[in-house]
């Protein structure tokens, strides 16, 4: 029977998974349920569950902020990375995130493509998380972009993908980005970054995952998004969304389809995440439109670069 829930697919799966996890945990811990465990059931016999007791055992962060036993899983696990002038050339630097020990790169999953070694030297892995609660725990304990030093970056990437063009997940991709003058956006940048992160971890940029279920996860199409970045520069902030692939302007049907998918991400970013009108012209001194560039074009430093603007 179709679900009556109006939650989008990933959120629905997340809430179902949280409930199943909690129920499974309670099932093991509850001696009454242990007696009625699956092993003791005859074929065809139904395992009767005391729903009320199980519901009473569930403690979410809303019931008990210190001692909750249910976390709300995200569709994907994510890793936060950080660099700033203070991290350059140092292994375990004093960063604004002293609450989190930083992992030397040698210990990061998957290692690093050698071409990215130099680039990744100064970028420190802060923490990985895979639940809503852990995300807010992290968010509430790190310095917001408006208070970061100049030339610092937060990189929030799917776990297992390093924030480098050279990673397999990024090498054929590109980025949407917007540059915002610092003086006019100091008060907005923290919210813009929060909403960008929420759209990333909530998987709303590329709705292709909305129909993915745990059963078809293996065959489900991959989200186009690999990570999001906020950068502080002397005169502006930059927010970026990295994608797995980038259209090539070849005019083929596949490329046109890819371009539509990539453009939808840019429009969602501009309108729903950053709150601009779809037809707003944003370019001003030190500001840019919401624009897309493939990493290969970024690497060429913009020479003959084919930008897409929404």
Of 24 and 115, the one with the shorter C-beta distance to ligand MGP is 115
Nearer to ligand MGP, 131 or 177 (CB): 177
How far apart, in whole angstroms, are the C-alpha atoms of residue 284 and residue 282? 6
Decide: is 164 part of the binding site for ligand MGP (CB under 6 A).
yes
Q: Which residues contact 213 (CB under 8 A, 6 or more apart)?
A: 9, 13, 220
Nearer to ligand MGP, 135 or 165 (CB): 165
Count of residues that bind ligand MGP according to CB under 6 A: 7
Indicate whether 181 belongs to the interface with ligand MGP (CB under 6 A): no
298 closest CA partner among 254, 242, 255: 242
User: Which residue intervals of the chain are DSSP H helices?
Assistant: 9-29, 31-35, 51-57, 117-120, 132-139, 182-185, 189-201, 253-267, 295-299
Q: Least separation, in Å, of the C-beta of 144 and ligand MGP?
A: 19
Determine if 82 is a binding residue for ligand MGP (CB under 6 A): no
Q: Residue from 16, 27, 171, 233 that binds ligand MGP (CB under 6 A)?
A: 233
**Sign of the C-alpha dihedral computed for residues 22, 28, 29 and 31 taken in this order:** positive
Q: What are phi and psi of 60, to 5 degrees?
A: -90, 175
Q: What's the min distance (Å) between Cβ of 195 and ligand MGP?
A: 21
Give CA separation, 44 vs 38, 40, 186, in Å: 11, 12, 63
Cβ 153 to ligand MGP shortest distance, Å:
7
Q: Quick one: which segment of 54-62, 139-147, 160-168, 218-226 binds ligand MGP (CB under 6 A)?
A: 160-168
State yes or no: residue 119 binds ligand MGP (CB under 6 A).
yes
Binding to ligand MGP by residue 152, rule CB under 6 A? no
Q: Which residue in 165, 236, 237, 292 binds ligand MGP (CB under 6 A)? A: 165
Structural Rg of the chain based on CA atoms = 22
Which CB sits closer to ligand MGP, 156 or 212? Answer: 156
Q: Which stretch binds ligand MGP (CB under 6 A): 161-169, 188-196, 244-252, 275-283?
A: 161-169
In this chain, which of 231, 232, 243, 245 binds ligand MGP, going by CB under 6 A? 231
Q: Kindly indicate which of the ranges 140-148, 164-172, 180-188, 263-271 contains the residues binding ligand MGP, using the contact rule CB under 6 A.
A: 164-172
User: Cβ(172)–Cβ(109) under 8 Å?
Assistant: no
User: CB under 8 Å to 95, separation ≥6 — which residues?
Assistant: 82, 84, 86, 87, 102, 124
70 belongs to the binding site for ligand MGP (CB under 6 A): no
Using Cβ positions, the residue closest to ligand MGP within the complex turns out to be: 119
**CA–CA separation, 39 vs 36, rounded Å?**
8
Angstrom distance (rounded) from CA 225 to CA 211: 16
Nearer of residues 18 and 200 to ligand MGP, judged by Cβ: 200
Nearer residue to ligand MGP within complex by CB, 45 or 168: 168
Structural tokens at position 175 = 């980025």
Residues that bind ligand MGP (CB under 6 A): 116, 119, 164-166, 231, 233
């Amino acid at each position: 029977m179709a679900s009556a829930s109006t939650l989008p697919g990933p959120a629905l799966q997340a809430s179902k998974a949280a409930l199943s996890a909690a129920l499974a945990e309670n099932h093991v811990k509850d001696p009454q349920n242990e007696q009625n465990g699956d092993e003791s059931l005859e074929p065809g016999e139904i395992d009767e569950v005391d729903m009320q007791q199980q519901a009473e055992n569930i403690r979410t962060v809303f019931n008990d902020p210190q001692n909750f036993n249910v976390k709300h899983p995200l569709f994907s696990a994510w890793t936060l990375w950080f660099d700033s002038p203070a991290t350059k050339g140092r292994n375990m630097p004093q960063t604004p995130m002293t609450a989190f020990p930083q992992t030397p790169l040698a210990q990061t999953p998957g290692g690093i493509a050698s071409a990215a070694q130099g680039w990744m030297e100064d970028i420190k892995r802060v923490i990985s998380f895979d639940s809503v609660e852990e995300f807010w725990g992290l968010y509430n304990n790190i310095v917001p972009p408006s208070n970061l030093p100049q030339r610092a970056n937060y990189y929030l990437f799917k776990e297992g993908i390093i924030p480098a063009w050279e990673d397999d997940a990024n090498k054929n991709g590109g980025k949407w980005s917007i540059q915002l003058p610092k003086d006019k956006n100091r008060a907005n940048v923290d919210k813009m970054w929060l909403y960008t992160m929420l759209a990333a971890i909530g998987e709303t940029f590329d709705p292709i995952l909305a129909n993915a279920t745990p059963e078809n996860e293996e065959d489900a199409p991959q989200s186009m998004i690999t990570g999001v970045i906020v950068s502080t520069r002397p005169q502006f902030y930059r927010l970026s969304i990295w994608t797995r692939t980038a259209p090539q302007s070849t005019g083929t049907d596949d490329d046109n389809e890819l371009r539509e998918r990539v453009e939808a991400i840019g429009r969602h970013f501009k309108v729903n995440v950053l709150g601009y009108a779809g037809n707003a012209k944003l370019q001003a001194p030190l500001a840019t439109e919401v624009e897309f560039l493939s990493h290969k074009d970024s690497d060429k430093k913009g020479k003959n670069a084919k930008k897409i603007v929404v």
